[in-house]
Structure 1
Amino acid sequence: MKFSALCLDDILEDSPQTRFMVKMFEDDAEKVHTFAASMQSSLERLVSAQSESVLSLQQLSSLFQNYQQLNFQLERQENDYAVAMDKFGATVSEVLFKITALKWKLCNVFCFKLASWLELMLQQLQNCVLHPVRKLVNEFSLIEQQKSLYHELANDMDGLQIRLSRVNRKDSPKKIEDLSTEYGLTKKRFHKLVPVSIENRFIAVVKIMTILQYMSNKIRMISVTVSDCSSVLS
């Protein structure tokens, strides 16, 4: 059973159709929230790995190039470990130098001002991919809060309706008036919440599709940038 719209009158009447539709939105929002949270976790690991790769190359180059300075007393003169270590360190240093030199080529050719294509990809991942996902997860957390409030108000209304149905002529007018006032205030709060709650759920489900499309375009741009930078290095 599918719904494309819900009449305002149906919302205000708190009909079974309203609650059924809200339940569908809650289920969809929960699934997308779980998916977005997992996406955020994976992207954070990717960004962290990219940051760590740059630092690891720098530390590795420094480590191997400083091997000869250790001066092992028992090391044999004909041992070529030091030479191999220094050569490997120089190779890593050369890679870092090319990445740094690529900064100026990128500035002149591609109009980028980042230190390297690794940093460029990291910057785009953080700003263009990870940031929208974090924002989306926060919005779904707000939806979860609205979900709890919605069910709380719905249960209060159900309880008040039961109490009103049990009112008899022997009850004092003051008690009946207080109960009616409480029910009216609860229903008013419910009417204010439901349209906003449904609208937020709909917007969030649509927004995830928009963000996924935006992320797809940015990842394509990152892929093109990496390919261009690799061509320059070669």
Structure 2
Amino acid sequence: MPAVHHKLLLEDALHDSPQTRSLLSVFEEDALNLTDYTNKLLQTMQRVFGAQSEMGLATEQLSQQLLDYEKKNFALGKGDEEVITTLQSFAKTVGELNSLHSELANQMADNMVFPLIQFREKDLTEISTLKEIYGIATDEHEASMVKYSRLPKKRENEKGQTSIS
């Protein structure tokens, strides 16, 4: 199903027509859906980032544990240079893997998580704020319309004449 793109033009919004209000409500609903989706996406990204960071810490600890074998004094392990060399080689490989995990975690933070946080905090918050301002202005406008529609015309004319004088 192709996407339908509508534009909400400022000129149309000035007329305050039912079509404009309807289109505005569609945009507001989409903004709420986008906010909800973005929050869930951010939570998932933060979980992945956290898991990646944890993986980096775990591989660093594994590398250190592999290197610690050489420092242990096993009574039956004297002269076991082949095991020590193998563990050192494996520790080096795990260390390289750790640096790749760290780099990946940094790239995820810089290119995924932080831009999404900025989008959510700046753009989506602005949409929410504008919606609230619009709601307040609409309520005030409707209250004014009700108030002034109840005034008798004679009284309105008297007010107009006193303000002219």
Work out the CA distance in 2 between the residues paired with 1:64 and 1:3. 59
Is this contact kept in 1: 2:56–2:101, CA < 8 A? yes
Q: How does 1:1-234 map to 2 (within 5 A)?
A: 4-6=6-8, 8-63=10-65, 65-66=67-68, 90=88, 93-99=91-97, 116-138=99-121, 139-168=123-152, 169-170=154-155, 173=159
* RMSD of equivalent CA atoms: 3.4
Greater C-alpha radius of gyration: 2
Alignment gaps of 5+ in structure 2: 78-83
Bigger shift: residues 11-20 or 54-63: 54-63
Q: 1:68 to 1:9 in 2, by over 3 A?
A: closer
Q: Is the contact between residue 64 and residue 89 of structure 1 (CA under 8 Å) also seen in structure 2?
A: yes
TM-score normalised by structure 2 residue count: 0.72
Report the alpha carbon displacement of residue 132 of structure 1 after superposing the two structures with TM: 2.1
Distance in 1 between residues matched to 2:44 and 2:130, nearest whole Å: 27
- CA drift of 1:25 comes to 0.3
Query: What is the percent sequence identity of the aligned residues?
Result: 22
The alpha carbon displacement at 1:4 in A equals: 2.5
Q: Distance in 1 between matches of 2:39 and 2:85?
A: 44
Paired positions, count: 152
Q: CA-to-partner distance for each residue in 1:168-202, whole Å, 9 max, x for gaps? A: 1247628x97xxxxxxxxxxxxxxxxxxxxxxxxx
Question: Is contact 2:31-2:124 (8 Å) kept?
Answer: yes
What's the offset of the Cα at 1:161?
0.4
Q: 1:8 to 1:141 in 2, by over 3 A?
A: closer
Give, as a single letter, the amino acid of the residue that structure 2 aligns with 1:124: Q
